Structure 1
Amino acid sequence: MKVTFDIECTPEEARAFLGLPDVQPLNDFMVEQMRKRVEANIHSMQPEEILKSWSSVGVHAQDQFMKLMQSAAQASLNPFNTGKTDK
C-alpha cells in the first residue's frame, strides 16, 4: 500500500514542526558582517592586481591540464605499461 501526503506550509512552519532551530537571525548577522567587511576592503582592492592573480592561476592550471593530456596520450600509446612506446 502506498500513502501520499501533500502538506502545504511555509519553511518556518516546517522548521517549527520538525523542531529545527530558526537560523534567520544568525543568517542576517552573517550577511551584515560580510557586507561590512566588503565595504571596508573594497577601496583597498586593485582590479589590476586581482586580474594578475587570476591570470597566473589560469596559466598554471592550463599548464597542469596540458601535462595531464600529454601523460594520458603517452599512456594510450602504451596501454600495458611494458616500457616500450609505439611509434
Structure 2
Amino acid sequence: MKINVEVDCTPEEARRFMGLPDLTPVHDAYVANLTETMKNGVSAEMFESMVRNWAPMGEAGMKLWTQLFDQGAKRV
C-alpha cells in the first residue's frame, strides 16, 4: 500500500508548524554587518580569515580549498 500526502504551505508556515525558531533578525543583522564590511573594503587578510572560519575541518579544509583554486588557476 502506498499513500502520498501533499502539503501546500509556505516556508514560513512549515517553520512554524515544525516549531523551528524564526532566525530572520539574526539573518538581517548578519547581512547588515557583512554589507557594512564590504562597503568599508575587505583586505586579503580579512578575506582569508573569513574563508578559514567557513572551511570545514579547519586547516585541512583550508588546504583542500587552496589546492582546488591552484589547480583551477593552472587550467586557464
State TM-score, norm by structure 2.
0.53
* Equivalent residue runs for 1:1-87 within 5 Å: 1-41=1-41, 61-62=70-71
Q: CA deviation at 1:26?
A: 0.8
Q: Aligned with 1:9: secondary structure?
A: coil
Q: CA deviation at 1:38?
A: 0.7
Quick one: percent identity of the two aligned structures? 40
Provide, for residues 23-81 of structure 1, a one-character-per-residue CA deviation record: whole Å limited to 9, x for no partner. 11111110010000110126x78xxxxxxxxxxx7xxx35xx8xxxxxxxxxxxxxxxx
Question: What RMSD in Å do the two structures reach over aligned CA positions?
Answer: 2.7
Q: Which runs of 5+ in 1 are unaligned?
A: 46-56, 66-87
Alignment-derived partner of residue 52 in structure 2: none
1:23 corresponds to which letter in structure 2?
L
Q: Tell me which stretches of 4 or more aligned residues in structure 1 moved more than 3 Å.
A: none
- Tell me the number of residue pairs that the alignment of Structure 1 and Structure 2 aligns: 49
Q: In structure 2, how many angstroms separate the alpha carbons of the residues matched to 1:29 and 1:36?
A: 11
